[in-house]
Structure 1
Amino acid sequence: MHDIEAKSILSPKNGMNLYRGCTHGCIYCDSRSNCYGMTFTFEDVAVKRNAPQLLEAALRKKKVPCMIGTGSMSDPYMPLEKTECMTRTCLELIDRYGFGFSTITKSDLILRDIDLLQSVNQKAKCVVQMTLTTYDDDLCRILEPNVAVTSRRFEVLKELQKAGIPTVVWMTPILPFINDTDENIRGLLNYCSDAGVKGIISFGIGMTLRSGNREYFYKKLDAHFPGMKRQYMHSFGSSYGIKSPNSKVLGKLVTDFCKAHGILTDTKEVFDYASQLELPQTQLSLF
C-alpha cells in the first residue's frame, strides 16, 4: 500500500475510485489490463489520500444532488479499508450533503457501513451492487481467492434486504468451460431471488481478456486448470470479448428467470436504476 495525491476524484458521470489496484486476487480481473496504465504492482494498492477533500469540494459545487458511484476499477471494501476508512469517510460526506450512493463490491465489509447506507437511502437513494459469479464456494475460492465466498455474499444481500437497501447483482464474468453451467447459473439466480435483488447484469454470459489481464488469467489457468489455457487459445485466440459456448441457453435462462421473478435484466435499465437519482420536487427546492 502507498499514498498518492489525486488531481480530481469525480468522473464526468460522477464515479470515483478511492483506491487503485486490488488485493482480492480474482483471476479474471480486467483492471489488470495494460490499457489502464498501472505503473506499480497491482496488489500494491494506491490510496488516494486527498480523495475526501476533493469529493467535498466537488459536492459543494453541484447545484442538484445526484448518485455518486464507486467500485468500477477497484473494490472500495478491500481489507485495507478497515484501517484506511476512505470509503466510510467519503460515504459520510455523501450522506451529509444529501447525495445518493451506488457501489460495486464483493466484500462483506460493506456491512460495517450499514448505518450510513440506510441514512443515504432515507435521504436520497442507495444501491449496493454485489458481484456473484460462482455458486460453488470451493470453486469461488480459486477464482476469487482473497474475498468473501459467494454464500457469504448472499448473506450480505439478505442483510441489506432486511435493512431496506436495494441491491443489484453483477452475474459476471462467467468463465467459459469453468463456471458456465446450468447448475451454476441456477444457483446464483436462486440467491438473487431469495435476496430480493432489483436487477441482474450478465453481459451476455462471458468475460473479457486483453493484454495484461490475459497473461495473469492464463498463468492462473495453468496453476489450477491444467490444459485449459490451450482450450482458450484454440477457441478464442486474442479476442477481447469472449462469450461462453453456452451463452444463448444460459442467457435465456437468466432472462426467463428474471421475467418470472420481476427482476430487471436489461443492462441499460439496470444501469439507469443504479445511477439515476430522482428526488421529490420539494427536496429539489432545497438546493
Structure 2
Amino acid sequence: MHFVEAKGLLSSKNGMNIYRGCTHGCIYCDSRSICYNMSHAFEDIEVKINAPQLLEKALRSKRKKCMIGTGAMCDPYMPVEVELKLTRKCLELIEKYQFGAAVQTKSDLILRDTELLASVNEQQKAVVQLTMTTYDDVLCGIIEPNVCNTRRRFEVLMEMNRYGIPTIVWLCPFLPYINDSEDNLRGLLNYCAEAGVKGIISFGIGLTLREGNREYYYSALDRHFPGLSERYRREFGYSYEIASPNSSKLMDMLSDFCEKYGIMHDNNECFAYLNDLPDKYEQLSLF
C-alpha cells in the first residue's frame, strides 16, 4: 500500500472512497477497468491518509444532514483497515455530526463496527450492504478468493438484523456457466429471507466486461475453468454486457421470491432508500 494526501473526499452524491484498489482478488471486478485511470497496481492500495480530516471538514460545512456512502468502488473493509482504522474513524465522525451512513462491503471485518453502526442508526440511519454471488462456498473461494465466504456474509447479515440495522444485498454478478443456476440463486435468496434483508439489488443475471477487467477475468477462467474463456469469446465477443442464457428465468424467480417475502427489489427504489434521510431523523437531531 501507499499513502496520499487527497484534496477532497466526498463526491457530488456524498460518496467516499477511502481506499483505491483492492486485495479481495474477485475475478470479475469492474474496478480494474482502465477507464478509472488508476495509475498504480490494483493490489497496491492507495490510502487517503487524510480522509477523516477531509470528511470532518465536509460534514461541518453541510447545511443539511444526508446519507454518506462508502464502498461503491473499493471495499472499505479490506485487511489494511484492521491496522489503519480509517473507515472506523470516518464512521465515528458520521456519528458525531449525526449524519446517516450507507456502507457496502464483502468483508466480515464490518462486525468490528457493529455497535458504532447501531449508534448511527439510532440517531439517524445506517444501512449495511453486502455483495453475495455464490452459495457454494468452495466456488466462492475461487471467484472471490481473498475475502470471507458467503456463509460468513450471511452471518454478518444476521448480526446486523439482531442490532436492528437494515441491510441491502447486491446479488451480482452472475457469471455465465459458473454461478448462473437456479440452485445458486435459490440458496442466496433463502439466505436473504432468513436474514430479513430490506432489499435486493440486481442488474440482471450476467456481468459486465471492459478493457482491464476483461483480460483479468479471462485469465482467471483459463486457470480455474479451462476452455470457458474461448466459449465467452465465441458467444459474447467484446460486448460490455454479458447476459446469462438463463437471465429471464432467473430474474422471474428473483422477482417472485421477493414479492412472496416482502423484499424490496426494484433497483430505483433500493437506491432511493439508500440515499434518503427522512426529515423526521433530522428533526430529532435538533432537540
- Whether the 8 Å contact between 1:222 and 1:228 is mirrored in structure 2 is yes
| Structure 1 runs not aligned, ≥5 long | none
CA distance in 2, matches of 1:251, 1:139: 21
Equivalent pairs counted in the alignment come to: 287
CA distance in 2, matches of 1:186, 1:239: 28
Is 1:275 the counterpart of 2:272 in the alignment? no
CA distance in 1, matches of 2:282, 2:104: 30
Query: Hey, what does 2:72 align to over in structure 1?
Result: 72
Query: Hey, what does 1:23 align to over in structure 2?
Result: 23
1:94-133 to 2 correspondence within 5 Å?
Answer: 94-133=94-133
Query: Hey, what does 2:160 align to over in structure 1?
Result: 160
| Structure 2 runs not aligned, ≥5 long | none
Deviations 1:153-203 (A, max 9, x none): 001100110011000000001101100000000000000000000100110
Query: Hey, what does 2:218 align to over in structure 1?
Result: 218
Query: Hey, what does 1:227 align to over in structure 2?
Result: 227
- What is the TM-score of this pair, normalised by structure 1? 0.98
TM-aligned CA deviation for residue 279 of structure 1: 3.2
- Whether the 8 Å contact between 1:77 and 1:105 is mirrored in structure 2 is yes
Partner-residue secondary structure (3-state), 1:280 = helix
Residue 98 to residue 282, structure 1, CA distance change in 2 (3 Å)? closer
Is 1:41 the counterpart of 2:44 in the alignment? no
Partner-residue secondary structure (3-state), 1:47 = strand
Amino acid in structure 2 at the alignment position of 1:81: E
Amino acid in structure 2 at the alignment position of 1:5: E
Bigger mean CA offset, 275-284 vs 98-107: 275-284
CA distance in 2, matches of 1:264, 1:246: 22
Residue 163 to residue 281, structure 1, CA distance change in 2 (3 Å)? closer
CA distance in 1, matches of 2:279, 2:22: 34
CA distance in 2, matches of 1:216, 1:4: 26
Deviations 1:122-160 (A, max 9, x none): 000000000000000000000000000000000110011
Residue 282 to residue 13, structure 1, CA distance change in 2 (3 Å)? closer
CA distance in 1, matches of 2:2, 2:216: 23
- Whether the 8 Å contact between 1:64 and 1:284 is mirrored in structure 2 is no
Amino acid in structure 2 at the alignment position of 1:50: N
Residue 130 to residue 218, structure 1, CA distance change in 2 (3 Å)? same
TM-aligned CA deviation for residue 227 of structure 1: 0.2
TM-aligned CA deviation for residue 280 of structure 1: 1.1
CA distance in 1, matches of 2:198, 2:28: 26
CA distance in 2, matches of 1:273, 1:103: 13
CA distance in 1, matches of 2:43, 2:128: 24
Identity of aligned residues (%): 63
Bigger mean CA offset, 238-247 vs 189-198: 238-247
CA distance in 2, matches of 1:281, 1:128: 18
- What is the TM-score of this pair, normalised by structure 2? 0.98
TM-aligned CA deviation for residue 275 of structure 1: 1.6
Query: Hey, what does 1:186 align to over in structure 2?
Result: 186
Deviations 1:231-273 (A, max 9, x none): 1111111111111110000000000000000001100001111
TM-aligned CA deviation for residue 206 of structure 1: 1.1
Amino acid in structure 1 at the alignment position of 2:20: R
Query: Hey, what does 1:176 align to over in structure 2?
Result: 176
Amino acid in structure 1 at the alignment position of 2:260: A
